[in-house]
């Protein structure tokens, strides 16, 4: 499935709901499941649907394999219904993309870890500092903890951050955890992945390197925004993860291209490492780190106000962000 989070306006407020792509249509999986229960003449279909197929992504992921299976059944059932069909109390089941606003598939993840798992990328960035790759990098997958409260989604704008003169994109794939676990073996780790999404770990490079000179961070240089989207694709939708191509375009011009299969540390290895003596939870986001050549830092080429950044990883889709506002220097 391709799972999305989208906003729905109601008379009592605006709410985020979970949907699944069916062709060009978005199926509200909670409403579709309630409709199936009602058609089976189950008592209290709405209450059961809310319990079995929650309407927000984090609760949905916390439901585990049973919720995922129920959602698949709901989408299959919805495919047999007319597009005008409603839920048991007249609720909308089907939406067209132009009628709703997509947000990040997981707008408020419980945690965000971003790795540096591509050898080509750490080799290039180390060379810029006149240093070799640290030998410790080959011993275990290294990561930092990002700001999980500043997630932005597909088509969201990015206000120019801080007073940086070197705003950068980072072309990454992320996995989202779907099960709670601790001390997970590498062989079991794949079963803990709920799905994959595109990740843009925006970076203010000048600020990042100033703070990291103090042997901590990154922090302010990255914590202003991380983009995720456009949807969360379950593992069965990707036949060969290693074969997927990763592309970055700025204003329609290709700046970066790479292949996920060049990664040195796999997601199962990351999961095994993080879960050693520590519990991971549904909704935790693990970023792959930047693919080789997948950022402006490697080319000494940075973003400007007004730029539109598109990261494309198929079959996941395209994650688009426009930079808005002006640098402090431009405002003077």
Pick the more confident residue, 68 or 127. Answer: 68
pLDDT higher than threshold 70 for residue 328: no
Task: Tell me what pLDDT residue 98 has.
Answer: 87
Task: Tell me what pLDDT residue 217 has.
Answer: 87
pLDDT higher than threshold 80 for residue 331: no
Tokens of 274: 């993080």
CB under 8 Å to 107, separation ≥6 — which residues? 5, 16, 57, 151, 153
pLDDT tens, 137-167? Answer: 999 999 999 999 999 999 899 999 999 999 9
Instruction: State how beta strands 317-324 and 157-159 pair.
Output: parallel
How far apart, in Å, are the Cα atoms of 214 and each of 109, 171, 209, 239? 28, 26, 9, 43
Q: Are 282 and 180 in contact (CB under 8 A)?
A: yes
| Residue percentage of the chain with pLDDT more than 70 | 98
Cα 286 to chain centroid distance, Å, stands at 9
pTM equals 0.96
Task: Tell me what pLDDT residue 332 has.
Answer: 45
CB under 8 Å to 224, separation ≥6 — which residues? 147, 150, 161, 162, 202, 204
- All structural domains of the chain, each given as residue ranges with its CATH number in brackets, are 2-102 (2.30.30), 104-331 (3.90.850.10)
pLDDT higher than threshold 50 for residue 298: yes
Identify any residues that bridge with 92 across adjacent strands, giving them in sequence order: 86
């Amino acid at each position: 499935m391709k799972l999305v989070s989208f906003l729905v306006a109601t008379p009592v407020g605006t709410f985020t709901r979970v949907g699944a792509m069916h062709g060009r249509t978005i199926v509200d999986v909670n409403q579709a499941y309630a409709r199936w229960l009602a058609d089976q003449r189950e008592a209290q279909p709405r209450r059961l649907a809310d319990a079995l197929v929650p309407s927000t992504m984090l609760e949905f992921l916390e439901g585990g394999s049973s919720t995922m299976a129920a959602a698949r059944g709901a989408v299959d059932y919805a495919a047999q219904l007319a597009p005008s069909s409603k839920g048991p109390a007249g609720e909308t089941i089907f939406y067209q993309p132009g009628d709703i606003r997509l947000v990040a598939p997981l707008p408020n993840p419980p945690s965000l870890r971003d790795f540096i798992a591509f050898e080509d990328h750490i080799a290039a960035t180390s060379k810029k500092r006149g240093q070799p790759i640290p030998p410790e990098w080959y011993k275990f997958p290294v990561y930092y903890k990002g700001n999980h409260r500043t997630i932005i989604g597909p088509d969201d704008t990015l206000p120019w951050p801080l007073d940086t003169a070197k705003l950068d994109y980072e072309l990454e794939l992320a996995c989202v955890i779907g099960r709670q676990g601790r001390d997970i073996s590498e062989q079991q780790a794949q079963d803990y992945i709920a799905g994959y999404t595109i990740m843009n770990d925006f970076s203010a490079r000048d600020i990042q390197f100033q703070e990291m000179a103090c042997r901590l961070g990154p922090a302010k240089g990255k914590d202003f925004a991380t983009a995720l989207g456009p949807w969360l694709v379950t593992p069965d939708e990707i036949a060969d993860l290693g074969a997927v191509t990763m592309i970055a375009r700025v204003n329609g011009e290709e700046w970066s291209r790479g292949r996920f299969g060049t990664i040195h540390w796999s997601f199962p290895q990351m999961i095994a490492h993080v879960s050693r003596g520590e519990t991971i939870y549904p909704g935790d986001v693990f970023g792959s780190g930047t693919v080789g050549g997948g950022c402006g830092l490697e080319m000494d080429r940075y973003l400007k106000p007004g730029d539109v950044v598109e990261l494309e990883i198929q079959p996941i889709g395209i994650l688009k962000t426009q930079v808005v506002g002006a640098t402090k220097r431009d405002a003077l």
